[in-house]
Amino acid sequence: MESLQESDIFMDRYSVFAPRLLPQEEDFVAGLRSCPGCGRAMAVRIIAKALAHSRRYPYGSPAGQLRDSGLPYSGWWLFDGKSFAPAPKAAADRIAAAAGEASSLDQGLALCAEARKKKQPFLYICFFNEAGIERHSASAGPGYYPDRTCGILQRFEKMQACLKKAKAAKPDYFATACPAYPFDCIEKISAALRCGGTGFIGMLVPCPTGCLYDPALSLDSGKRAVDTGLFPLYEAAKGSCTLTVAATAPASCYTRLQPLVPAISGRELEQIQNLADKNLRGLSGRKTTISST
Partner 1 sequence: MKKAAGGIEQKYGIGTTLCVAACAGQAWREKKPVWDRQRCFKCGMCWLACPDAAVRPVDQGFYDSDPERCKGCGMCAAVCWNDAITMAPEKV
Of positions 195, 217, 243, 260, contacts partner 1 by CB under 8 A: 217
Instruction: Kindly state whether residue 57 participates in binding partner 1, applying the rule CB under 8 A.
Output: no
- Written as one letter, the residue type at 172 is D
**Number of residues lying near partner 1 (CB under 8 A):** 30
Gap between the Cα atoms of 165 and 171, Å rounded: 11
Is residue 19 at the binding interface for partner 1, with CB under 8 A as the rule?
yes
Q: How far is the CB of 186 from partner 1 (least distance, A)?
A: 10
d(CA 216, CA 213): 8
Which residue(s) pair with 101 in the sheet? 127
Contact call for residue 36 and partner 1 (CB under 8 A): yes
Q: Residue 221 interacts with partner 1 (CB under 8 A)?
A: no
| Residue range at the interface with partner 1 (CB under 8 A); choices 25-33, 194-202, 238-246, 265-273 | 25-33
Residues 6+ apart with CB under 8 A from 90: none
Which CB, 215 or 250, lies closer to partner 1?
Answer: 215
Give Dmax over CA atoms of the chain in angstroms.
60
Least distance in Å: CB of 279 to partner 1?
26
What is the DSSP pairing of strand 57-58 with strand 66-67? unpaired
Q: Which segment (30-38, 88-96, 138-146, 266-274) binds partner 1 by CB under 8 A?
A: 30-38
268 binds partner 1 (CB under 8 A): no
Q: How far is the CB of 181 from partner 1 (least distance, A)?
A: 12
Q: How far is CA 59 from the centre of its chain?
A: 18
Judged by CB under 8 A, the residue of 114, 187, 220, 268 near partner 1 is 220
DSSP 105-124: HHHHHHHHHHHHHTT--EEE
Residue 188 engages partner 1 in binding (rule: CB under 8 A) = no
Q: Determine phi and psi for 227, rounding to 5 degrees.
A: -65, -25
CA–CA dist 232, 17 (Å, integer): 26
> Considering the rule CB under 8 A, would residue 30 count as an interface residue with partner 1?
yes
**Residue 215 binding partner 1, by CB under 8 A:** yes
Q: Give 68 or 172: the residue with its C-beta nearer to partner 1.
A: 68
CA distance 250 to 119: 43
Q: Which one of 51, 78, 98, 219 is in contact with partner 1 (CB under 8 A)?
A: 219
Rule CB under 8 A: say whether 32 interacts with partner 1. Answer: yes
Beta-carbon contacts of residue 262 (< 8 Å; ≥ 6 apart): 149
**67 binding partner 1? (CB under 8 A):** no
Cis check: omega of the bond before 72, within 30 degrees of 0 = yes
| Contact status, residue 228 vs residue 165, Cβ threshold 8 Å | no
Q: Is 73 exposed, middle or buried (0-12, 13-18, 19+ CB in 10 A)?
A: exposed
Examine residue 42 and tell whether it contacts partner 1 (CB under 8 A).
yes
3-state secondary structure of 53: coil
Segment near partner 1 (CB under 8 A), from 37-45, 127-135, 147-155, 228-236?
37-45
Nearest approach, Cβ of residue 47 and partner 1 (Å): 12
Would strands 234-237 and 122-129 be described as parallel, antiparallel, or unpaired? unpaired
Residues lying near partner 1 in the complex (CB under 8 A): 16-17, 19-20, 22, 24, 26, 28, 30, 32, 34-39, 41-42, 45-46, 49, 182, 208, 214-220
